[in-house]
């Protein structure tokens, strides 16, 4: 059996590594030492395809940690409750409980594989507190370089394993036969088109933060997995929910949630703390609350960034050197911009950070297409609901990799299992590619600007209607826009259909949450719509597929955002 894994972040690396291990489950790093090691897995062949170099991607950029209830004062049920509370009514509670219960086993396996998690003076794993967590349960490695440490450890093991690695190879389409996956088409590092026969394809391509010009994600986070899967007939879900990180340096560079967890505060341009007036949890409120409060404060002060004040943290830790030791990556970023954050507040703004939406999947990675699986940020499992709890992303990637690799290692009929969505509202997705033959073209830069203005922290119905109409009538002008345009069409329709505000999705024309819309929306290609896909489940009322939302009146011409023609386009 040949399995192709697309993507080399935490989810992709751990999936490939475990599939290539004896019996389909990795144990310790010692078993992987030495080049060319050949395992005795039931999986015959594993190929890992990555568009960049091995380990490149959003996982390696993760400063924050991995959440796990491993402390004596903590338990998975408390972790689950925090996850559900952050998710604003849309969390699949069964999936969240499974995620949190498996977290300690994930940590144990990563430690066995050589991930150097930080430890307290007692020798136990150090636990930090982050926003919306009721207990200190966030584990870090390299202080604020957790993702990089995990990816580095796993990448070295993958290179020493029997996994075939294709770097610089871009997946272009998923081939199906009789409705099931049969191959993955790629363009390799030399520009040659190839087809990799596959009994299963695992999408671990990350999210779509790079749909926006201001993002904490790498440039390659353009939702390629979502577009590939949907074109292959898979359902996608929750696309309207994009989390914006509250604190990104105005000059570029993420400032982790952990800094506020240590006590840093947010100040307006006049040096006044404002989060205490917004939420009882102040700077430790959920990310969507903090990000919108920052955006509003910035608007009130003419667009100027707000200030993150870590001077109290520095004083408590013992000065500038201690602050740098606690947050070495952030300290380097701040000082590279000529700032001394131990002595002065630093300017920060929100930026697109994490996509709760993606390819509809269960926690085992199954999608609605037999043989197609999705893991990590590429997948929409329901564990994050409308707003992800801090540091649950690396956890979800690892848990899904463990569960999927165990499933695939059993082989047999499970390879053709598919997910049947329950407790969701099925919607017909817009066409991803149709546009008039003589349509105006749009390049990636212009498209990303439109997304920031219309699909950002604050949205508005008339503007969303205008955006959806405009996107339907243009064609991509460059390779990156060829993926971003169909993605933007899907996200715009999802945001337009949810006429309420919930979690990371906030509409100025519908600022309240509506109980009748407390349901996950699943978007399926027109050919895949069939009533038998949905059945009700206790505790999860099924919403019937709704009629398309009537378009809101177009805004006046003077306020309607205009498409920018691509350079050189007619």
Per residue, the 3-state secondary structure of 225-259, as one string, reads HHHHHHHCCCCEECCCCEEEEEEEECCCCECCHHH
Half-sphere exposure of 30 (CA within 13 A, CB side): 1
Say if 540 falls within a structural domain: no
If asked whether residues 222 and 258 sit together in one domain, one would say no
If asked whether residues 179 and 294 sit together in one domain, one would say no
If asked whether residues 408 and 447 sit together in one domain, one would say no
Cα 497-383-73 angle, rounded to 5 deg: 140
Chain segment 125-155, per-residue pLDDT in tens:
999 988 889 999 999 999 989 999 999 999 9
Structure token pair of residue 538: 């206790």
Active site residues: 287
Say if 519 falls within a structural domain: yes
Chain segment 502-518, per-residue pLDDT in tens:
999 999 999 999 999 99
Sheet of 372-374, strands arranged across: 164-167, 45-50, 2-6, 200-203, 372-374
Residues 6+ apart with CB under 8 A from 318: none
Q: How many domains does the chain have?
A: 3
Integer Cα distance of 254 and 543 in angstroms: 38
If asked whether residues 148 and 7 sit together in one domain, one would say yes
Say if 149 falls within a structural domain: yes
What is the reported pLDDT for 413? 55
Closest CA to 290 of 372, 351, 331: 351
Say if 35 falls within a structural domain: yes
Say if 365 falls within a structural domain: yes
Chain segment 9-40, per-residue pLDDT in tens:
999 999 999 999 865 555 556 554 433 333 33
If asked whether residues 132 and 266 sit together in one domain, one would say no
Predicted TM-score of the model (pTM): 0.86
If asked whether residues 81 and 219 sit together in one domain, one would say yes
If asked whether residues 248 and 201 sit together in one domain, one would say no
Cα 388-299-62 angle, rounded to 5 deg: 30
If asked whether residues 223 and 279 sit together in one domain, one would say no
Question: Any idea what the CATH number is for the domain that residue 300 is in?
Answer: 3.90.700.10
110 — alpha (psi -120 to 50), left (phi > 0) or beta? alpha
Say if 422 falls within a structural domain: no
Question: Any idea what the CATH number is for the domain that residue 440 is in?
Answer: 1.20.58.100
If asked whether residues 400 and 308 sit together in one domain, one would say no
Residues 155 and 8 sit within 8 Å (Cβ to Cβ):
yes
If asked whether residues 262 and 338 sit together in one domain, one would say yes
What is the reported pLDDT for 531? 36
Structure token pair of residue 450: 């439109």
Say if 95 falls within a structural domain: yes
If asked whether residues 206 and 93 sit together in one domain, one would say yes
What is the rounded end-to-end Cα distance, in angstroms, of the chain? 49
Residues 443 and 479 sit within 8 Å (Cβ to Cβ):
no
Say if 421 falls within a structural domain: no
Chain segment 334-349, per-residue pLDDT in tens:
999 999 999 999 999 9
At what angle are helices 479-497 and 444-454 packed, to 10 degrees?
20
Half-sphere exposure of 16 (CA within 13 A, CB side): 36
Q: Which parts of the chain have pLDDT scores under 50?
A: 32-41, 529-570
Q: Which of 305, 332, 350 is the last residue of a domain?
A: 350
Task: Determine the structural domain holding residue 274 and report its residue range.
Answer: 244-350
If asked whether residues 211 and 262 sit together in one domain, one would say no
């Amino acid at each position: 059996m040949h399995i192709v894994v697309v993507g080399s972040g935490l989810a992709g690396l751990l999936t490939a590594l475990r599939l290539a291990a004896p019996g389909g489950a990795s144990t310790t790093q010692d078993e992987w030492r030495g080049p060319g090691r050949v395992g005795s897995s039931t999986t015959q062949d594993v190929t890992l395809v990555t568009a960049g170099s091995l380990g490149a991607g959003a996982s390696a950029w993760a400063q924050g940690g991995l959440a796990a209830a491993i402390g004596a004062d903590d338990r998975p049920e408390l972790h689950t409750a925090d996850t559900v509370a952050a998710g604003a009514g849309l969390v699949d509670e069964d999936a969240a409980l499974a995620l949190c219960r498996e977290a300690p086993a994930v940590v144990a396996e990563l430690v066995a594989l050589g991930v150097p998690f930080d430890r307290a003076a007692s020798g136990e794993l150090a636990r930090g507190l982050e926003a919306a967590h009721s207990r200190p349960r966030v584990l870090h490695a390299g202080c604020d370089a957790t993702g990089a440490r995990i990816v580095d450890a796993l990448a070295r093991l993958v290179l020493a394993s029997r996994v075939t690695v294709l770097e610089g190879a871009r997946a272009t389409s998923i081939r199906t036969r009789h409705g099931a996956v049969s191959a993955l088409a790629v363009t390799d590092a030399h520009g040659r088109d190839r087809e990799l026969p596959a009994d299963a394809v695992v999408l671990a391509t990350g999210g779509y933060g790079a749909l926006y010009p201001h993002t904490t994600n790498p440039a390659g986070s353009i939702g390629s997995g979502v577009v590939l899967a949907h074109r292959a007939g898979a359902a996608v879900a929750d696309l309207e929910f994009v989390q914006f990180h509250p604190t990104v340096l105005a000059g570029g560079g993420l400032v982790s949630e952990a800094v506020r967890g240590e006590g840093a505060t947010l100040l307006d341009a006049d040096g006044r703390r404002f989060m205490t007036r917004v939420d009882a949890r102040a700077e430790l409120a959920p990310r969507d609350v903090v990000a919108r409060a920052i955006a509003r404060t910035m608007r009130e002060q003419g667009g100027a960034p707000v200030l993150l004040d870590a001077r109290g943290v520095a004083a408590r830790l013992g000065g500038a050197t201690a602050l740098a030791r606690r947050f070495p990556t952030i300290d380097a970023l701040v000082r590279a911009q000529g700032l001394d954050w131990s002595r002065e507040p630093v300017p920060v703004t929100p930026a697109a950070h994490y996509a709760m939406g993606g390819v509809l999947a269960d926690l085992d990675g199954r999608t609605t297409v037999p043989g197609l699986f999705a893991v990590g940020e590429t997948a929409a499992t329901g564990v994050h609901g409308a707003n992800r709890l801090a540091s649950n992303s690396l956890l979800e990637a690892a848990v899904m990799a463990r569960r999927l690799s165990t499933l695939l290692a059993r082989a047999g009929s499970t390879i053709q299992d598919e997910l049947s969505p329950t407790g969701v509202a099925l919607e017909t997705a817009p066409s991803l590619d149709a546009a008039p033959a003589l349509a105006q073209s749009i390049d990636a830069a212009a498209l990303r600007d439109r997304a920031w203005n219309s699909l950002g922290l604050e949205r508005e119905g008339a503007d969303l209607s205008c955006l959806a109409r405009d996107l339907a009538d243009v064609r991509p002008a460059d390779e990156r826009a060829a993926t971003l345009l169909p993605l933007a069409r899907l996200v715009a329709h999802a945001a337009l259909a949810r006429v309420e505000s919930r979690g990371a999705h906030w509409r100025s024309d519908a600022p309240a949450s509506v109980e009748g819309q407390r349901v996950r929306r699943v978007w399926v290609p027109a050919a895949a719509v069939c009533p038998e896909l949905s059945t009700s489940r206790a505790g999860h009322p099924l919403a019937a597929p709704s009629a398309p939302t009537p378009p809101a009146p177009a805004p006046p011409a003077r306020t309607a955002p205009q498409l920018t023609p691509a350079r050189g386009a007619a």
